[in-house]
Chain A
Amino acid sequence: MSSSPTAAEKGGRSEYGVALLLLGLGAWAIVDALGVTDTASRGPVNARTVPIAVGLLLILMAVLLTVDLVRGGRGEAEGGEDVDLSHGSDWRTIGLLVGSFAANALLIDSLGWPISGAILFFGTTYALGARHYVRMALISIVLSVGSWYLFFLGLGIKLPVGLLKGIL
């Protein structure tokens, strides 16, 4: 196993959350499907069939996964070139990343991509541990303004300009 014992132990209980998620998704699929009225289709298969089948599959897997977990089964966390599984998930980094991402989603329409994209890049590099603030700021601005022009001139897609309207 690639994960350390501490990570595996911690993962043990949270894996029941996966079963719960599957159960919830399965129930949602079935409840939603029951609300669909399909008068156009004939025969045993209509718009409800596939969602109900998928819902049943998900619920069945939730049950089997629970059995597997009780018997001691564990999901293997994914490895990779830059992945070190000997320490647990770094939630501070994740929080900062999600924060930067959300900032971009909230600000893109008002401030425009050249600014919100720069905030996104600066924030994510900071979250990932870079501390050369001048270099980070320069790269952020070059990337966000550059990608705005690339999309506008190269692909004809107009990303929001926001505050910089008239300047770019």
Chain B
Amino acid sequence: MDGINALIDGFGTALTPINLLYAVIGVVLGTAIGVLPGIGPAMTIALLLPLTFTLEPTQAFIMFAGIYYGGMYGGSTTSILLNTPGESASVITAIEGNLMAKKGRGAAALATAAIGSFIAGTIGTLALALVAPQIVKLAIQLGSPDYFAIMMLAFIAVTTVLGSSKIRGLASLGIGLLIGTVGIDPTSGQQRLTLGIPQLADGIDVVVVAVGLFAVGEALWIAAHLRRNPAEIIHVDGARMNREDWRRSWKPWLRGTLIGFPFGAIPAGGAEIPTFLSYAMEKKLTKHPEEFGHGAIEGVAGPEATNNASAAGGLVPLLTLGIPTTATAAVMLGAFQSYGIQPGPRLLDEQADLVWGLIASLFIGNVILLALNLPLATIWARLLNIPRPYLYAGILFFASIGAYAANTSTFDLWLLLIIGGLGFFMRRFGLPVVPAIIAIILGPVAEEQLRRALQISDGELSGLVNTPFSKVVYVIVVLLLVVPVVIDRVQSRRRGGDQGDQGDGIQDAPSLGHQHANQEGQ
């Protein structure tokens, strides 16, 4: 059980007073910002990336770990108390949670979400600690062709599974790959897409890209469509549940954990699909089917546990393979890169202190979160009253500092505005942001693997598919591309060929609502 021993060492790292302090700061910041409407964990970490300029990597990641889980907790509070759709992973929680709150059962909804998140987060983190060393054992044998194949899979999965339009997903992927290509090509030393501008030779700083797409793009988009009458907030005092609530919640928590963790670990659009599956499952298994649609506690407990378990699952490919499956994970990968650390199978050996300290602080963060959330739910809920002008002005303010501080140059501020404008138009025209950010961060790594693979094979293209592993991965890629199209064709033929107004016709589970296509994910 090398994972367990390493984890105990990790607790040694995480439990030093200074690191504990960073965990608490991360959790408090994450919860506070998660509660604030319009700000998700990806934006939070993006806005805090400037801290990586001076903070030790271990401390920075312990803090990011707190933000990662804290953002989830905060997000569920928002979706239960605010009568509007919020972050993608909380959309399902919002359905029953909001109905419960309206019936005066808000305290129980908040409690089952918080305790469910705690249980799922703890089991999920334990699973991460056990699974990660095993994956590393396999991953260490993979070569460049295999990695290139996995990255292709990540690109295709994130564009085809997420959102309602494949064309727009692939367009967004292309834009991301293009931005990732800007700068000097590390293999040949040639400048690419720099327009002769010297500041672009080093590529576009990850801080500027992440802050531009998430913070500035989002703030501009919301500002242009700001609700003139703020959404109604449901008042609630505290978070607690009775014996009956416990009895009805514990099984959904465990089932949700079971669904969420594996889904989080594959690049299939984060928590959206598993939370939906969990909701459908609880609806089927419940002894109170009449309550679904009117505020059933199982409908909050299951999806909320799923959400947190998938957040833990998402760390498996990030830490073992260097593959992000969500926007938040992509921004965290960007943070690793800005320390000159490339996550991958060697990370657990080379940066054992960092990785196991991070995993240990996820456990600690979970405990702090529970302690903060159950008694203080009412106080967090007050954050929902913050006047929107100050909130969104604050986002632009901190985005500007972060981008400027990256290289202390005004050039980056103009670049930030351009990328922010791009983020605005992507949201306006339904281009999902997640494929773009994953492509920006992962694109250059994929190119390097591609060229390394072909150097090994001496330029033979067969060198990309000459391992059994890469063959299997490419088969999955082809299936991902072909199967949905075939299913769609068959369905539309059965309907009597009435396609047309759906454009390229890939429809999501209908009751997911239409917001999620473009959300930043978790």
Contacts and interface: CB of A to CB of B under 8 A. Distances in A.
A143 B513 CA distance: 38
B168 interface: yes
Given A45-B454, A64-B167, A90-B225, A75 B430 contact: yes
Contacts of B408: 157-160
Label chain B's interface by main secondary structure: helix
Contact of A47 (B188, B393, B413, B424): B188
A89 B388 contact: no
A62 B430 CA distance: 14
Contact of A159 (B78, B175, B405, B430): B405
B189 A40 contact: yes
B85 A54 contact: no
Contacts of B404: 108, 113, 159
B308 interface: no
Contacts of A105: 410, 413-414, 417
A115 interface: no
B310 interface: no
A20 to B, nearest CB: 12
Given A26-B174, A43-B455, A61-B167, A82 B224 contact: no
A117 B391 CA distance: 15
Interface residues on B, range: 35 or more
Contact of B174 (A57, A126, A151, A160): A57
Contacts of B190: 36-38, 47
A47 B459 contact: no
Contacts of B513: 79
B53 interface: yes
28 contacts: A21-B425, A36-B190, A42-B458, A47-B185, A51-B178, A57-B174, A61-B167, A68-B167, A71-B500, A72-B501, A74-B503, A76-B165, A76-B514, A78-B427, A78-B430, A80-B84, A81-B84, A91-B224, A93-B223, A94-B223, A105-B417, A117-B397, A121-B397, A128-B223, A128-B392, A151-B405, A157-B408, A159-B408
Given A83-B38, A130-B389, 8 more contacts: A73-B502, A77-B427, A80-B84, A93-B223, A124-B393, A124-B397, A126-B389, A157-B408
Interface of A: 1-2, 11, 14-15, 18, 21-22, 25-26, 28-29, 32-33, 36-38, 40-47, 50-51, 54-55, 57-58, 61-62, 64-65, 68-69, 71-85, 87, 89-91, 93-94, 97-98, 100-102, 104-106, 108-109, 113, 117, 120-121, 124-130, 139, 143-144, 147, 151, 155-160
